[in-house]
Structures are given as structure tokens and as C-alpha cells.
Amino acid sequence: MSERFSFDLHARDGKARTGVIQTPRGAVRTPAFMPVGTAATVKAMMPESVRATGADILLGNTYHLMLRPTAERIDRLGGLHKFMNWERPILTDSGGFQVMSLAGLRKLTEKGVTFKSHIDGSKHELTPERSMEIQRLLGSDIVMCFDECPALPADRDRIAESMRLSMRWAERSRAAFGDRPGHALFGIMQGGLEQDLREESAEALKAIGFEGYAVGGLAVGEGQEAMFDCLDYAPGFLPEDKPRYLMGVGKPDDIVGAVKRGIDMMDCVLPSRSGRTGQVFTRHGVLNIKNARHIDDPRPLDEACTCPACRNFSRAYLHHVFRSQEIISSMLLTWHNLHYFQEIMAGMREAIAAGTFAAWEADFHAGRAQGDI
């Protein structure tokens, strides 16, 4: 285990990169996918099961945890790692995105955001300083700057104004974070789909200096083509030698396209949330287990998959327990989806190291039938 936070790039293939982030709580192999552990749990998964899928790091949500059970209570109980029995790295978001997407009665000023809890209507405030304090109390290994992520579509002036506010908040986040060896603070690039504003944001963040850099403000309704157009230039504005984290992404083909364009880390609720709705991701495409066509199907979800759902259960059984709203349905489908997402990451890491990413990507796309399978 390293006492420091560091990032070592091992290989490149085109713009795609593979390497390792070292932290005092363990190594993170990149490109990395982070399962989302919103309320101190990856829903329907035991922590050891999350690890068994291949995850090196998971994401915790500041907004949810500050409201319930509160950061102070988690701190008193030994921090988030101990609280949720996950002793490997945790990245926490700043709360900024979820305040704007979940909370009620929000008021945004230069200082920060005041809002009402979606749980009980109680009043709260998030500022760069309070977000840093919460993430410190949680004990997270990678802390995210407090920022504002404007909803798209938005006009250029709004995007510019919002980005510049986030850059001022990045300064304040850096100042409030303090000197915490072994912990990292990541800046978040904003700027919407405006190339010049993205470059301005990157320059502002580099002038402050961070241990890693996120591409924020995407996966907010712009669509894959627009997101990839932005990713064709935005990662290149960021330092080569620091991790690049694309927030909130995404479907398997989004993830592959992002890594191809130079992204090292991603997080998304899709594999876990969709597992609970019966949506199953496989190397041959997507299926929904609730479809009646599975009712007598003795085959596994994916013959080639080694997860517990595919090794031990038929589609007919998974259809039955989904239809019966049995808890095991969410457990098995979440496990399968997370396992598959980690299989994609492992395949890309290996391909980039071998210089065969283009062939791997062609095989990835070739295997995916259209629609249900």
C-alpha cells in the first residue's frame, strides 16, 4: 500500500490510456468504472460482492449522506469505509450536481446553494467549504470540487457564467481542502459544448492545480454524438499525467467511446439501477428479463459470463423472480450488470496494454445485436 496518492501511466494506444492510481487504501486500475454507492451501499450488493465483480473503487454521494445519516454521524462511527465495510478507495462527489437535480427550493448565490431536503424538507446549505468538510468527515480518498453543472440545453452566456462560478468555487475548494497527504482533490471542467469555454475552464483548473481532473457537465441530455464531439477535444486540454474522470457515464458504448478519447475513470448508476428494473447488459446487447419470451428459457443470460447469475440460474428463473418481485432478482441482475461492466474495463485495460484497442473495440461492437436478444 502506498502512503501517497499517485497516478502511473503504463501504456497508451491512440488516445486510450491504461495505468494505476495508487492510494493508501489500495490501487485503482485504469480505465476504471466506479459503481455508485449512494446511501453507503451499492444497492442490492454486499461490499464483498462489489469487489468480486472487479471494482477497485466506488462512489459515495455527498448530498444523500449529508442528509441521512449526516457526515458528522458517519465520522463519529469511524468514517464511511468502516461504516459501509468497504476498505478500498472511495471517491465522493461534491453534492453540487444532486442538489440541483434532487433538492427542493434551491437558492444559488456566489456563496453556494441553500436548499430543502427531499427527505424531510429541512433546510441546508452547501458551499465549497462545507462540501470539503463533509467529504473530509466521510473520509473519502478522492474528493470532488464543489461545482455547478448547468442543465442542457442552455445558452452560451449561461454556460460561461456557470463555468466561471465553478472555477471560483474550485479555488475555494482547493483552499478549504488543505494539506491532506494520501488524499486527492479533483477539479471539474465545465463549459458545456463550447470548445473555447472548455479550454478556458481547463486552463483555470491547471492554474490552481489538482491531483486529478474531471470532465463535468456531460451526460445531461446532450446525447452521445454531442458528448463524443466534446470528448474529441476536452480531455486533451487536461494534464497528460493526471487521471481524467468523466462524470455520470454511462452505457457500455458510451464508456468505450470515452476511453477511446482519453478518459481514465467513470461512474454511472446504470448497471445497478437498470438491474433493479430487469434490464440486463450482455456482450450481445441488452435484454429485459421481464419480457414473456424468457418464461421457459433454460439458458443463462450469457453463456460466456462467469457471474453467479449466469453460472447458476436460467433466464426462466430470473424472469420468475423478477415477475414475483423477489429480492434475489435485484441481487442477481445487479451483480451480473456490474460484472459485465467490469469485464469491459478489464478487456480495455488489457487491449490498451497490448496495443490492440482498435481490434478489441471492433469486436465489442460486432458482438452487439440490435435491441432485445
Ligand X SMILES: CNc1nc2cc(C(N)=O)ccc2[nH]1
- The active-site residue, picked from 13, 56, 93, 254, is 93
Residues 12-41 touching ligand X, rule: CB under 6 A, are none
Q: CB of 97: closest distance to ligand X in angstroms?
A: 4
Q: CB of 247: closest distance to ligand X in angstroms?
A: 4
Distance CA 304, CA 158 (A): 48
Q: By CB under 6 A, is residue 188 in contact with ligand X?
A: yes
Q: CB of 94: closest distance to ligand X in angstroms?
A: 7
Residues 237-266 touching ligand X, rule: CB under 6 A, are 247-248
What is the bridge-based pairing of β-strands 113-116 and 104-108? antiparallel
Element (H, E) at 158: helix 156-177
Residues near 193 by beta carbon (within 8 Å), at least 6 away in sequence = 152, 222, 226, 229, 230
Q: What are phi and psi of 260, to 5 degrees?
A: -60, -30
197, three cell numbers: 469555454
Q: CB of 246: closest distance to ligand X in angstroms?
A: 9
Distance CA 255, CA 250 (A): 6
> Is 157 in the active site?
no
Residue given cell 460482492 in the structure block: 49
Q: By CB under 6 A, is residue 219 in contact with ligand X?
A: yes
- Of residues 261 and 315, the one with the C-beta less far from ligand X: 261
- Of residues 34 and 289, the one with the C-beta less far from ligand X: 34
Neighbours of 214 (CB within 10 A): 30
CB 33 within 8 A of CB 342: yes
- The active-site residue, picked from 13, 254, 264, 267, is 267
Q: CB of 147: closest distance to ligand X in angstroms?
A: 5
Window contacting ligand X (CB under 6 A); options: 30-38, 214-222, 253-261, 362-370? 214-222
Q: Shortest CA distance to 194 belongs to which of 152, 244, 223?
A: 152
Window contacting ligand X (CB under 6 A); options: 116-124, 157-165, 218-226, 282-290? 218-226
Q: Shortest CA distance to 348 belongs to which of 29, 36, 90, 52?
A: 29
Determine which residue in the list 58, 103, 137, 149 makes contact with ligand X, applying CB under 6 A.
149
> Is 120 in the active site?
no
Site residues (vs ligand X, CB under 6 A): 96-97, 147, 149, 188, 216-220, 247-248
